[in-house]
Structure formats: C-alpha cells, structure tokens
Structure 1
Amino acid sequence: MKPEPKTEAELLQRARDIAGLSFFELAETANMIVPANLKRDKGWVGQLLEWHLGAVAGSKPQQDFLDLGIELKSIPIGHTGKPLETTFVCVAPLIGVHGLTWEKSHVRQKLSKVLWIPVEGEREIPLAARKVGSPILWSPNDEEENALQQDWEELMEMIVLGQVEKITAKHGEVMQLRPKAANSRVFTEAYGATGKSIKTTPRGFYLRTQFTNQIIKRYFS
C-alpha cells in the first residue's frame, strides 16, 4: 500500500493519476486478484482505491484520511452518468443517542469533506475492464448541509422515540436509514416504543442517488 498522503494536493494528484485506468491495471500494480464479480466481494473496489491512495482507516469508524479530514467514497456510475446505487455513509447509533446533535454526529464528520471517485458500474462491463473516473473533492454547501441535517434529525428523533422499526427507505429526502448487516441473523440493541431495550437489525445511513447525482452534475457540468 502507498504511504498516507501528507497533503490534500498530494491525495488529489494520486486520484488524478489513476483516473482512466482499469481495475485490472490497478489490481496488477497492487498485486491483487480481480474477483469475477462483486457479489461476495462488495468492498473490493474500495480496498483497491484505498491501496492506491494510501487510506489507512480501513473499516474503522473514522475518516479514511484522518489527518486531512477527508472521507473516501467510490461511486458506481452508469452509461448516462448517473449513480447506480445509494452511498453508505456510516452505521447509525441506536442506543445512547439522547442529547446527540447534528454538529457532533458521525454522519456530519464523515460528510464534511469527501473525495468521490466515480467508477464504471454497469454490470455488462467485466469488472477487470471497468475504469476509474476523475475525482471530485466535495464539501456540502449550505443547502446540502441543511437537507442532510433535516433528514438526520428526523431519523434520529424516530430512533429516540423507539420507532426504529417503523422507519422505512421512504423516510428522508436526501438520506435514508436502511438495515446494514452481513445477514438477517445479526442483531443489535435499540429502544422500543416503551423505552425498553429491544433487539433489531443494525441500521446504516445511506445517501440517495438523486443527492449524489446533483454533486456529480455540479462538478462535471
């Protein structure tokens, strides 16, 4: 793995250097094997990019480039230039959330500055042949931050009130809360409607595709 970049400029240059290259070319340099598909290797693309960019956080609950305050997110793009799937932000806290504010939230920290790496995501393109696009270094503007905060506060209020089981993917304008677990047998603690502890599936915050599409359109228009 490449050493951690010392500056934002160094990180951006590395990201620009891999733009236009295929997963096969990047995997060869990193001495990694390209899987046949991503069904069992969902995190493979992220690991490949982390290797080339020098991200050391891995799966730790912190920004990928902690010293630079930057989060790394790959985003699969279709032929039309639109994102093909929602973007996972972080796992949602379901207990001990009384008094938690947007300003101190993990979501806000993760999204304060993001290095987006668009990648070809159409399934008919063999994984090895898919290419990396030009990077986008993004921080939410006031409008985007307000929309994120509004959704976060609405979803967290439902969690605090013991309504986590009532939250569906329809809640939230730009960000939703969805189950996030390796399988349906994984459970965690949450508040029930009576205020007592219940067992439920872990949840994660996800950015809707229309939100990430606006980010991409703004940078490439």
Structure 2
Amino acid sequence: MSDAELKKGDFTEHAEPFRLFAEWLADAEKSEPNDPNAVALATVDSDGLPDVRMVLLKGFDEAGFVFYTNFESAKGREILASMKAAMCFHWKSLRRQVRVRGPVEVVSDAEADTYYASRPRGSRIGAWASKQSRPLESRFALEKAVAEYTARYAVGDIPRPPHWSGFRIKPQSIEFWHDRPFRLHDRIVFSPNASGGWDKTRLYP
C-alpha cells in the first residue's frame, strides 16, 4: 500500500463512528468482488458456547446495525435468549476491519414488512419453505416445500412469515482497524457517552 493510500485511509480525526462507517462501506462497495455488506455475526448458545456465521447487513444509522433472519434459526433463538450480539466486517481488499458489539432489539413490524416486500419473490417463498437450522432429510424435501409454497402463493402478495423479521444491534462499542506496515496497525474504538456523543480511544495494535 502506498504512502498516498495510507494517508487517504487515515480515520483518526473522525469524531463519531457512523459517518466513518458509511465512508468505509462505500469504499468497500467499489473494491470488494461481492457482498461488501457481508459481516460475521457472533452469538452465544444456551451452553455459553460462541457461535458465528456470515450474514448481510441490510441497514444502519445512528440507532444501530440491522440484519434479517428466521427467528426460529439457531442465530434467531440465540439472540432472542440473550438479546446481545457482535459483528465483524473484514474488507480484505482495503485492509480494514470494523467490530460492533452491544445489546439487540427487534425491528418494528413496519421495517420488517418493508424489507421483506423488497426481496425477490423466490426469497420470500424461501422464507416460508426453509425451517432454517433444523435437520433436513433430503434436498428433495426442501424443493417439495418450495413447490408447495409457490403454489400456495401463486397469485398476489406473499405475506411475511410471523417467524421472520429483523434484529438491530445497538452498539456499545464500534472499533475501526486499519492495516499498517510491520503490524503497527491503527485501532480506534468509539463508545457512547452520557451526553449522547461518543468517546474515542486509540488502542495499541
């Protein structure tokens, strides 16, 4: 990475995290080969064992980071049990990483309905047909379920399943990481303060 690229990537003067995240995500949309909004989502199961998988970020603002899922899936059940989660974005092409952690809330029905309606018809059928995370006897069984729901909703709107909605992580901390030579990386963590703003702390790499 050139000196000019390193200077362009400097983020240490930002006073709040969301504008910086928006800039980094926009950069990733230009450089990542696919799914720049892909993020590792970490939860904890009933035994206290960490669990992680990739999901797609579907929205963010000062209220938090939003993704959608089947609430009867493993991640859905684990989040509903603890109402806590963490995320890690890694944009390899940019040598950047963002970590988010905090309590979780369920999005409003209006938000979930709006996003569900924007999905391709096949994805809306899939939300009904897939018993996500549960044992599947065969691929044919899944295809049969898809065919059944396709026939059921052959005409008109496809309603949002009652078990399908979204979660919003309300960050207690947002950490930005940028690769630097000799592993002397830049790390800045933002934490909300009592006045409604953000405290910023630089961390050792």
- Please give the TM-score of this superposition, normalised by the length of structure 1: 0.30
From the CA coordinates, give the structure whose radius of gyration is larger: 2
Q: Name the one with the larger strand percent.
A: 2
